[in-house]
């Protein structure tokens, strides 16, 4: 009897110590490549060079992420669908609005839609202060695209 109790206790102890085996969570699938259309940049700051700086900053910020390609301006919906199918990519359309704040401030909103369907997906906001709009455009856009990249699961491009 004592032997049976000892074996039983030993068996229970080994199960408790070993415990259930933890399963390794499956790896998240790699994000699909993105094909991005830069739809509009609206400059409400009235800063002469802000729109051109914003367009350049958007392209530069997107280039920092893997598997991102920018659609040519004026591309037809049919051509976009062909490219998306060939690349097996997700189509995104970006619309940016720049607004001046009180004093030396910049507020920006990035609206993300599906491309070429134009269905609203999300909106991102960022801002900064302490300098002229021309100086604030690049870091504010970097923040916007960084937030979008995080949500999309994009990986930084190799340098």
Q: What is the mean pLDDT of each run of 10 residues along the chain (159 residues)?
A: 58 54 72 93 93 96 94 96 96 96 86 97 95 94 97 88
Q: How far is CA 13 from CA 6, 16, 19, 98, in A?
A: 10, 5, 10, 65
Q: How far is CA 119 from CA 49, 86, 92, in A?
A: 30, 21, 10
∠ CA 112-113-117, rounded to 5°? 165
The predicted structure's pLDDT at residue 32: 83
Domains of the chain by residue range: 34-152
Please give the CATH topology (third level) of the domain spanning 34-152.
Rossmann fold (3.40.50)
* 90-96-101-105 Cα dihedral, nearest 10 degrees: 70
65 DSSP assignment: B
69 DSSP assignment: E
Kind and range of the H or E run holding 120: strand 120-129
Q: How far is CA 4 from CA 14, 16, 36, 54, in A?
A: 15, 18, 70, 79
The predicted structure's pLDDT at residue 109: 98
The predicted structure's pLDDT at residue 3: 66
Residue 31's nearest CA partner among 148, 125, 119 is 148
């Amino acid at each position: 009897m004592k032997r049976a109790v000892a074996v039983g206790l030993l068996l229970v102890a080994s199960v408790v110590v070993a415990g259930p085996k933890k399963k390794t969570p499956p790896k998240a699938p790699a994000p699909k490549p993105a094909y991005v259309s830069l739809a509009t940049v609206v400059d409400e700051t009235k800063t002469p060079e802000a729109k051109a700086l914003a367009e350049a900053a958007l392209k530069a910020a997107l280039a920092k992420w893997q598997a991102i390609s920018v659609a040519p301006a004026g591309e037809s919906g049919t051509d976009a669908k062909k490219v998306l199918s060939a690349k097996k990519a997700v189509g995104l359309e970006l619309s940016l609005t720049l607004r001046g704040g009180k004093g030396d401030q910049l507020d920006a909103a990035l609206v993300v839609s599906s491309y070429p369907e134009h269905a609203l997906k999300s909106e991102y906001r960022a801002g900064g202060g302490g300098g002229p709009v021309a100086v604030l455009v690049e870091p504010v856009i970097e923040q916007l695209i960084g937030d979008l990249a995080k949500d999309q699961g994009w990986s930084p491009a190799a340098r």
